[in-house]
A and B are shown apart, each in its own frame.
Chain A
């Protein structure tokens, strides 16, 4: 366990599946140099196959006895999907018979192949919601435990899980060990790579690209020990944000506010069945464990309270009025860590998100 833990909360009631986070991450980190097929951030439709294909059935994580479970390494073409490209150049130069505009491989699979399919029968009781996923920067990472080279480490200062590319030899046991399949093999450099929680941005006062670009403002970022942070309030004070698949035993540090609002079902005549809800609670229990019931109750109660009294701190947080309140990156803390490590502290590029447990400056709104 690290000294402090930086965490993210995602409010699933508000995710619209626009993939802005996916694109923000891709253009920042994974559009080049062997990482083309990787999505450090992806948004999948749940229920669905997910990314990589059927990742929940590929093993990894820990059993109740704390033993790391064997896992399967997904196949790039069949399970992740080859990032195909087009023959732009040959359109200009080749003879007419070759100059059809076509992908360089015939695509058979890719992330979001089953977008918006969901489950149930349309229009009576079909349902789905979006599930954005990044590396969970687990307190007990499966990838770290699986590495025979000690090439994966958890940063002491903020719990970000990173790969030491100098030690990594590309053995890929980490991929088998991660139950979320959020660590990837880079075939070009023959090493594993993963979400770095945008630590170079965080250290300079910028939230992770996925969180800052999120148009639905569903993502909160802050330290779990910072009682002023909205992350703390959602996870610890109100307990409405829960880690994904806590049964995997890795203690994930990305937390989700479960989707509580789903439309009612229709009967055979297409009439609303009053009091029904499309989203089966069993699905949420599978994803978030038994704590999901209490979380949903709190959310419903606070919603009611807000309607009746106009006052609810929790609802105000989830409305996400100000980025400056949603992101508390504790810049002074990072500056001190840099000094301790005899590195030159970097000047913040943005002053709005600097506040934190060890940083008094609030910045302007």
Chain B
């Protein structure tokens, strides 16, 4: 795959920066998405990736590096053929960071593409990032890790000892080194399925036939993911909601320390698009944000939620300072009316035991947030409109 990308970069595919954020992406139909030349037909759109700030991780240095992080622009294009869909993500990154060497504090750049496992009920889509109970997602992750040796699962202990302890020299030692090197995973590509935070599970049985790769050049990365339109996990047609995340290794990015997009509509060109979903993901909320801010304060939302960077941090509820960037209006609406529909799992309950986000009732997570279903429809729309304004500026 690396070859394909390198030649693509040399083609100099121009990104279209003219389109507004969150516009729908058109997946161009081509004969074969694996054919490099096919990308010359691709239509790039701008997608804004916001820093994940719903919860703050416990890494002091990383938090200092990402304090008041800004949003990033990525250029995204899609292709599809009879079998596969392909996405290309290009984003600026001043340094090429690989998790490499015998070190404890290196982190790699990376990107991920997320698909909703079911779009039967598009409103609302699964929670961005990890999916939500009953609304699973498939996440394709590609990281720039140089070399990883998976823990021994095959009882091949003979290759786990250090070369000095092998008791062999010269040619035999060279052979041992070669054997060890051959066991390394040099392409850190993984697929996960998730139904909410902490449920993310790696697919290891080969049931997802995807291929992703990333190449660095000209102050940025270019990543490609190719996956089947249909497999055990997804069945993509018409309008495909996807979401993109990128990690910056120089900012100690990994896991939640990332920038991510909201759900983006990808229309498979020539197929009947899902007008409802497209409009949901591309049009602004109709409410009055100023009224919404007042309503939000009147209802005490900021008692638990951090709204802007100026507000004090809270362990009681997700910070909303970038919620407008990565959440859909439908999700925000649902969270106000039915707080337990998706409980952003946030911190381990043990980590902040006096401020539980949820309580377990019969094995189900019930949010500690009050149900605001008594609010009238217009007020809810106003609040949603205000929440949609809460996001970092683009760098």
Contact = CB atoms under 8 A, between A and B. Distances in A.
A74 B348 CA distance: 23
A69 B354 contact: no
A46 interface: no
B150 A149 contact: no
Contacts of B148: 188-190
Contact of B59 (A73, A140, A166, A190): A73
A148 B149 contact: no
B161 interface: yes
Q: How large is the interface on A (under 10, 10 to 19, 20 to 34, 35 or more residues)?
A: 35 or more
B351 A146 contact: yes
Interface in A151-184: 165-166, 169-173, 175-177, 184
A283 B145 CA distance: 44
17 contacts: A32-B162, A65-B354, A70-B59, A73-B104, A73-B105, A74-B105, A76-B103, A77-B103, A140-B350, A144-B350, A145-B351, A148-B348, A150-B198, A150-B348, A173-B58, A188-B149, A189-B148
Interface residues of B, number: 42
B283 interface: no
A75 interface: yes
A71 B103 contact: no
B331 interface: no
Nearest to B159: A33
Contact of A145 (B162, B169, B348): B348
A214 interface: no
B60 A72 contact: yes
A92 B170 CA distance: 10
A228 B285 CA distance: 69
Interface in A211-242: none
A175 B60 CA distance: 11
B348 A146 contact: yes
A96 to B, nearest CB: 19
Given A32-B165, A71-B59, A187-B104, 19 more contacts: A32-B160, A32-B161, A34-B149, A36-B162, A67-B355, A68-B58, A68-B351, A70-B63, A76-B105, A89-B169, A89-B173, A145-B347, A146-B348, A148-B197, A166-B202, A169-B254, A170-B254, A187-B103, A189-B150
Contact of B58 (A71, A75, A149, A190): A71
In the A-B complex, list the 8 residue pairs whose CB atoms are closest, starting with the nearest.
Answer: A68-B351, A145-B351, A76-B104, A33-B160, A70-B60, A145-B350, A66-B353, A171-B255
Nearest to A151: B198
Contacts of B352: 66-68
Nearest to B192: A169
B57 interface: yes
Interface string B34-67: 0000000000000000000000011111010000
A326 B105 CA distance: 40
B60 A71 contact: yes
Nearest to B102: A187
Contact of B164 (A70, A82, A88, A165): A88
Given A73-B104, A85-B164, A173-B58, A148 B198 contact: yes
A77 B169 CA distance: 28
A60 B355 CA distance: 18
B276 interface: no
A262 interface: no
A75 B104 CA distance: 6
A54 interface: no
B99 interface: yes
A356 interface: no
A286 to B, nearest CB: 22
A82 B105 CA distance: 13
A147 interface: yes
Interface in B168-217: 169, 173, 197-198, 200, 202
B256 interface: yes
Contacts of B315: 67
A59 interface: yes
A191 interface: yes
Contacts of A60: 58
A80 B197 contact: no
A37 interface: yes
A130 B224 CA distance: 55
Interface string B7-34: 0000000000000000000000000000
Interface in B333-354: 347-348, 350-354
Contact of B151 (A75, A150, A175, A189): A189
A68 B173 contact: no
A146 B197 CA distance: 14
A171 to B, nearest CB: 4
Interface string B252-265: 00111000000000
A185 interface: yes
Contact of A177 (B58, B102, B165, B197): B58
A31 B60 CA distance: 30
B174 to A, nearest CB: 10
Contacts of A77: 103
B101 interface: yes
A175 B202 CA distance: 23
B254 A171 contact: yes
B365 to A, nearest CB: 14
Contacts of A140: 350
